[in-house]
Amino acid sequence: KAGVTQTPRYLIKTRGQQVTLSCSPISGHRSVSWYQQTPGQGLQFLFEYFSETQRNKGNFPGRFSGRQFSNSRSEMNVSTLELGDSALYLCASSSDDWRWNTEAFFGQGTRLTVV
């Protein structure tokens, strides 16, 4: 059974540009969550999608957005990149809301560097 796949693994962008990251969840999983990880702030929740609908949202500016397709694959987009957006972006998939007695499986992440 294939795991969670995130692409690309590494990315370098310039301030002001936008970026799109992709996450393919485990087959059959309908929930996809996104996290940002930085050395100073740790793992912080961005948003969660379930069956193409955003179900939960963290405390991030509107420059961060996402969507989920009918095949459960998800993308997140960051517009007008800032240096502080440099981070490891992680995607997690689960069969349902992982908070209710089911585990989440994480991808290896996309390392974004903004210069």
Partner 1 sequence: DAKTTQPTSMDCAEGRAANLPCNHSTISGNEYVYWYRQIHSQGPQYIIHGLKNNETNEMASLIITEDRKSSTLILPHATLRDTAVYYCIGSYSTLTFGKGTMLLVSP
Residues contributing to the site for partner 1 (CB under 8 A):
4, 33, 35, 41-45, 48, 56, 58-59, 88, 90, 92, 98-101, 103-109
Please tell me the distance from the alpha carbon of residue 107 to that of residue 99, in angstroms, as a whole number: 18
Spatial CB neighbours of 40, under 8 Å, sequence gap ≥ 6: none
Note whether 55 and 48 are within 8 A (CB). Answer: yes
Name the minimum Å distance from CB 83 to partner 1: 21
Whichever of 13 and 111 has its CB closer to partner 1, that residue is: 111
Please tell me the distance from the alpha carbon of residue 59 to that of residue 43, in angstroms, as a whole number: 13
Name the minimum Å distance from CB 76 to partner 1: 15
Name the minimum Å distance from CB 88 to partner 1: 8
Roughly how many angstroms between the first and final C-alpha of the chain, as a whole number?
Answer: 37
Whichever of 63 and 99 has its CB closer to partner 1, that residue is: 99
Whichever of 66 and 109 has its CB closer to partner 1, that residue is: 109
